[in-house]
Amino acid sequence: MNEIKLAVLGTEGVGKSECIYKKRLSIDGRQINLEIFDPCSQNLENKSSLTDQMNWADGFVVVYDIGDRSSFVSAKSLLRQLQEVHSEICKRDGMSVIYLVGNKQDLCHVREVSKEEGLLLAGEHKCHFCELSAAEDRQEVGTMFSKAIRNASGNRRRRPSGSKSMAKLINNVFGKRRKSV
Ligand code: GDP
Ligand code: MG
């Protein structure tokens, strides 16, 4: 059974809770145990917590709000950090494991970040990009996740089991509030 772990790093909200969602699904005829980690966005400011997430995840979805320039600026800095710390894993066989997502496309009348800027940023970091509305288009969200899972499944690297940072991560993830679906 393949295990795929995705970390969804949102820079749009003030999320104070973190969750792990677990789901068994089939992609391209392969059974996959998917785990999606939705960390508390406040914790993203903490560098060691971000490093722990990078050690845990096979792939990343970095989400900003197209109606909020500051969330785009945060996404930019997240992408930089992801690539600084883990440049060797962020790209395998020319395939990035990072998906940059401009959310709240339904609110494009109050847009502060153009689609071109999103595309440009994704191009700079050689990662995938799309704009969508999590609130109004579930299909787009599903398509994005399917692609993110496929990209991440090409990144089945060995994790440093038993390392100090892994122990800390397990504590972070499982020691706190969590939900399963
Ligand atoms: P978090 O704080 O980063 O976890 O972000 P949330 O998932 O809590 O979302 C923050 C706020 O944005 C919530 O009020 C959501 O309802 C809202 N939101 C999320 N996605 C969309 C979207 O696609 N369109 C609109 N209009 N609102 C959204
Ligand atoms: Mg949240």
- Give 31-61 pLDDT, tens digit per residue: 999 999 988 776 666 667 777 777 889 999 9
| Edge-to-edge order in the sheet of strand 98-103 | 19-27, 30-38, 2-10, 59-65, 98-103, 128-131
Cα 9 to middle of ligand 2, angstroms: 9
| Atom 4 of ligand 1, residue of closest alpha carbon | 15
Question: Which atom of ligand 1 is least distant from the CA of 38?
Answer: 4
103 lines ligand 1 (CB under 6 A): yes
Cα–Cα distance measured from residue 86 to residue 10, given in angstroms and rounded to the nearest whole number: 19
Q: What is the mean pLDDT of residues 81-108?
A: 79
* Residue 161: predicted pLDDT: 45
- Return the residue whose CA atom lies nearest to atom 5 of ligand 1: 13
More confident residue, 157 or 71: 71
Report whether pLDDT(103) > 90.
yes
pLDDT at 1: 62
Whether residue 165 has pLDDT greater than 60: no
